[in-house]
Amino acid sequence: MRYIKTPAAPQSVELSRIILGSTHFGTKIPDDEVFRIIDRFADFGGTAIDTARVYGDWQNTGNAASERVVGQWLKNSGKRNRFTLITKGAHYRLATPFTSRVKPECIIEDIELSLKNLGFPIDLYLLHRDDPTVPVEEIMPVLDRYVKAGDIRAIGASNWTHERIDEANNFAGENGFARFVASEIQWSLAHIDSEALPKMLGVGVKGVNAGECEKYMNSDIPLLAFTSITWGYFSKLLNGQQSLHHEELSTPENLRRAEIVRKWSEKTGASATAISVAYIASHPQINAAACVGASNGEQVADFMAAADLVLPQEFFDEIES
């Protein structure tokens, strides 16, 4: 397994290049299967797990099932010190997607609930959504207090533009506050049009477009890519099956990329899923880790085959030509 380190602010956080996602833990995926998935992930050398206040709170009851079950596994396994714990907050309520919760009181509410559900301090805390109308001057001091108190080691942003992250970090640097050290954003081998992205993943979701891509190439902030295997699109397509959002994803560009994936799968013996993950985890120009979910333990072995897979420059040249 290869690893990635965030910049130090005030201390760096180490992440495995493959991060285990947990969206449906404790809801669609029952606790006992969740424990098997995380056990399997740990067996393959994975050390980072990503959850969120909103995961498993589909009925807006305040019961964040994913955080609860992740915290329970960490407690039962005795492996808390081996794992990097990532969670997120300030996501809108699902019943009111156009009502922003990127405000100090909501951030505080979510952090307190996350700490209670997880039962441990948080290694990397990400704001799950952004609201550009809220000044960074109102946001960064709140997060900084939790960092200085030791409840959070480091902070970052999810679904923020690089421009807003720079704005927040400039303010933080000028005032001695903790800076954002990671950006979680949608990025994958399959290209998703920016207009289609919110329809697939929800209001406020941001993806890496061409301009953003160049900024990440020149940034010390690592990119944590979610929906990194795009619902298994390439794997299913090459096996004659259809993934979720198959029609939207089957653009001429993605069909072109599928043939490249087919060729390199035959050449390397790696699965389409492993190649999709390695595209992110071994990208030669962007310092990134892939967030990948699983619904059972068997799927973990497939994507963790990319843990030490480094694709050659020739592959990237073909994909990005």
- What are the structural domains, with CATH classification, of the chain? 3-319 (3.20.20.100)
- pLDDT score of 295 more than 70: yes
How many angstroms separate the CA atoms of 63 and 114, rounded?
10
Active-site annotation holds for 55:
yes
Q: What is the mean pLDDT of the chain?
A: 95
Helix (H) or strand (E) holding 184: strand 180-186
> Quick one: pLDDT band at residue 58, thresholds 50, 70, 90?
confident
User: Cα torsion at 180, 54, 151, 2 (round to 10°)?
Assistant: -60
Percent of the chain topping pLDDT 70: 99
Tokens of 3: 């690893």
- pLDDT score of 210 more than 90: no
**Vertex 235, ends 294 and 314: CA angle to 5°?**
115
How many angstroms separate the CA atoms of 154 and 149, rounded?
12
**Token pair 């050449």: residue:** 267
- pLDDT score of 45 more than 70: yes
> Quick one: pLDDT band at residue 71, thresholds 50, 70, 90?
very high
Backbone angles phi, psi at 241, to 5 degrees: -115, 175
Window from 61-70, 166-175, 251-260 with minimum mean pLDDT: 61-70
Q: Is the dihedral of CA 182, 11, 70, 272 positive or negative?
A: positive
How many angstroms separate the CA atoms of 87 and 52, rounded?
5
The per-residue pLDDT for 211 is 74
Question: Which of these is catalytic: 55, 92, 125, 216?
Answer: 55
The per-residue pLDDT for 62 is 66
CA 307 from centre of chain = 16
- pLDDT score of 86 more than 70: yes
